[in-house]
Structure 1
Amino acid sequence: MTTTVVRAAEPRDAEALARLLAELHEEPAGDPSKRFAATLDVVLGTPGHHLCVAEHDGRVVGTAVGVVVPNLSRDCRPFMIVENVVVTASARRLGIGRAIMEHLVGIAGEHDCYKVQLQSNGSRDAAHRFYVDLGFAPCAVGFRRYLADVPVVGGRDRS
């Protein structure tokens, strides 16, 4: 019998997370760098960040992060932003993405969030159908400004 468990990510998941996120952004995986490990430690230690992984038959095959954001509107109820949702190609259509999203929506409910929101690349039609099937509605126009060409402030290296 196959089992899927969604749990909080841990430092030992660094290699699997690096592999999954490389797959999400279609980049070569490589070994997680010291910077990746240090950033993972920050994410895991930051209140309101809920980085989760999905294990299927004991192997990490999916991840997403939900960030609970304090809010001054909506009777001061927070909201959750979901990012970096990915299930490895060989494990798709097994209910893993649904389990991850239900896990994060459950956490949002525990924090009394009034909404869960996410963005998806406009060309990812299958992902959009997936989110609609989960009860999400396309309801806004998103805007983004990448900061790759912005000068580094305070001597922080972006490489």
Structure 2
Amino acid sequence: MSDLLIRPATRSDVPAIMAMLADDPLGAQRESLDDPTPYLAAFTRIADDPHQHLMVAERDGRTVGTLQLTIVPGLSRRGATRSIIEAVRIRADERGSGLGTRLVEWAVGESRRHGCLLVQLASDASRTDAHHFYEKLGFEASHVGFKRVL
């Protein structure tokens, strides 16, 4: 995979990221490809926040993967900084190629570079294949998560 480039996302990557977010049964229910306006507004907020790292993986000029890494300073754990990995997505024709591993390992390395003592992520309860993937990368299911839709 030497031809793979992991780089910060640009505004022109947003349509490809939208497509990856919607490209599974769960994403198809909550994403919409009809109107890029809210995604572009979110991209601007992310790009303006130095604690946010929206990344893409590019191969042969195609955006083939994405994730978002958030650096979170905190008081707990003796003032530890942590990171959160979210929205890991790989194009369907690239799944199983090792690309997801490369992206997550990039995020772990970047977390270390930022002095994080902990990397965390959440995965929808229905994504059992993703859970196995994260466990293979050394992540442990350690918490029960809660969400409240506003």
So what's the TM-score if we normalise by structure 1? 0.84
Number of the residue aligned with 2:6: 6
8 A Cα contact 2:53 2:69, kept in partner: yes
Number of the residue aligned with 2:110: 107
1:9-158 to structure 2, matched below 5 A, reads: 9-24=9-24, 25-27=27-29, 30=33, 33-147=36-150
For 1:2 and 1:112, locate their aligned partners in 2 and report how far apart those are by CA, in whole Å: 27
> Unmatched 5+ residue regions in structure 1?
148-159
CA offsets, 1:94-129, max 9 Å, x none?
111111101111111011111111111122221111
Q: % of aligned pairs identical?
A: 38
Task: Return the letter of the residue paired with 1:108.
Answer: S
The count of aligned residue pairs is 147
Cα displacement (A) at 1:35 = 2.8
Q: SS where residue 123 of structure 1 aligns?
A: coil
Q: Which one has a bigger Cα radius of gyration? A: 1
Cα displacement (A) at 1:146 = 1.5
Higher helix share: 2
So what's the TM-score if we normalise by structure 2? 0.89
How well do the aligned residues superpose, as a CA RMSD in angstroms?
Answer: 1.8
Provide closer, same or farther for how the CA distance between residues 32 and 56 of structure 1 changes in structure 2, counting only shifts above 3 A.
farther
